[in-house]
Amino acid sequence: MATMANKPEKVIDAHHHVWDLSANHLPWLSDEPPIPFRYGDYSSIRRDYMPADYRRDTAGWPVVGSVYVEAEWERSKALGESRWIASVAAEYGLPSAVIAWCDLASPDAAELLAAHAAVPLVRGIRHKPTAAASAAEARRRQPGSMDDPVWREGYAHLARNGLSYDLQTPWWHLDAAVELARDVPGTQIIVNHTALPSDRSPEALAGWRGALELAADQPNIALKISGIGRPGVPWTLAGNDPVIRDAIAIFGIDRAMFASNFPVDSLIGDFDTIFSGFLAATSDRSEDDRRKLFHDNAARFYRL
């Protein structure tokens, strides 16, 4: 594990969640039966997770700021989520920024985006567009996808409200993201969870790298290196080092950032394991490069 001597001076965790299940309804965490989940059994996180829990998990790391990303609340309460997180931040000092939720294909998207933007901590929106389960099944121009004209009408309101877009989609849909970035250059896109390289076969990794290279050609696309766990496989440096290094090499030091995805990624590794892995994977980088990956880039993209 990392020692205090080689840890960065400051960390901004670019992606995490908190929740109070007694106060708010998050169907995937509260309802029965549990949903199919990409990490398998997630029963251990179906409990309250508040800033005190997050501080306990991040103990020993100099986390000076963090970005809360929408946690799939009951969707009719999306504005309530932003406002609740703002009240949590006022009480606990974290998170430092909020990525809210809005269905960009909804007829109410413009109204909801304007309301989110009125919450001072809100920096952007995450909405998962329609996605195929595999690269072989990927199709363009599906309803609710990044090609959908109705979805794009909602997307156009992001720039009007000064909001960025956190995109969570598998790598086989990044071709659509490239066109979106090119067509709407004024909106910053931040790809979540390293574009989900869960299949580590040589063929899949080649496809993932190619998709990242296309995305990285667009100057308004950045990448969060997070969420690279696999179901039933503990998080290890040996398993994830090539993915981390390739992601940084493709996007460059100025458009990549590290994030924990806690408490979700606690299913496959504790915070110290994951962030020590990020540190080890960048052991050949300069102090300035590491500062950007662990702190400065998140501060810049999320305007902290």
Predicted confidence at residue 6, as pLDDT, reads: 83
The reply to whether 246 falls in a domain is: yes
Provide mean pLDDT across the span 137-165.
96
Contacts 24+ apart (CB under 8 A), 134-140: 134/172, 135/170, 135/171, 135/172, 135/204, 135/207, 138/172, 138/173, 140/175, 140/176
CATH classification at residue 197: 3.20.20.140
Statement: residue 2 has pLDDT above 90: no
pLDDT grade, residue 117 (50/70/90)? very high
Report pLDDT for 38. Answer: 92
Q: Which residue has the higher pLDDT, 4 or 56?
A: 56
Alpha-carbon gap, residue 100 to 127, rounded angstroms: 9
Residues 216-243 pLDDT 10s: 999 999 999 999 999 999 999 999 999 9
Domain carrying residue 172: 11-301
Total number of domains in the chain: 1
Q: What pLDDT does 65 receive?
A: 98
DSSP single-letter state for residue 45: G
CB 160 within 8 A of CB 111: no
pLDDT score at 123: 98
Structural domain contains residue 83: yes
pLDDT in tens, 76-93: 999 999 999 999 999 999
CA distance 291 to 198: 27
Q: What is the pTM of this model?
A: 0.96
In a domain, 108, yes or no: yes
Is 5 among the domain residues? no
114: pLDDT strictly greater than 60: yes
Q: Kindly give the residue spans of alpha helices, DSSP state H, lying in 185-286.
A: 202-216, 237-251, 271-281
Residue-level pLDDT at 53: 98
Q: Is residue 3 part of a domain?
A: no
CA dihedral defined by 84, 85, 87, 91, rounded to 10 degrees? Answer: 140
CA distance 95 to 15: 10
pLDDT (mean) for 242-267: 98
For 110, half-sphere exposure in the C-beta direction (CA atoms, 13 angstrom radius) is 7
Instruction: Give the sign of the dihedral formed by CA 47, CA 53, CA 59, CA 63.
Output: positive
E-assigned strands of the chain? 11-16, 63-69, 97-101, 122-126, 164-167, 189-191, 221-225, 256-258
pLDDT given at position 5: 56
pLDDT class of 1 with cuts at 50, 70, 90? low
Q: Tally the C-alpha atoms within 13 A of residue 208's C-alpha that lie toward its C-beta.
A: 23
Whether 30 is in a domain gets the answer yes
pLDDT tens-digit map of 186-204: 999 999 999 999 999 999 9
What does the buried/exposed string (b/e) look like for 200-234 if buried means 16 or more CB atoms within 10 Å of the residue's CB? eeeebbebbbebbebbbebebbbbbbbbbbbeeee
Give the confidence band of 3 by pLDDT, cuts at 50, 70, 90: low
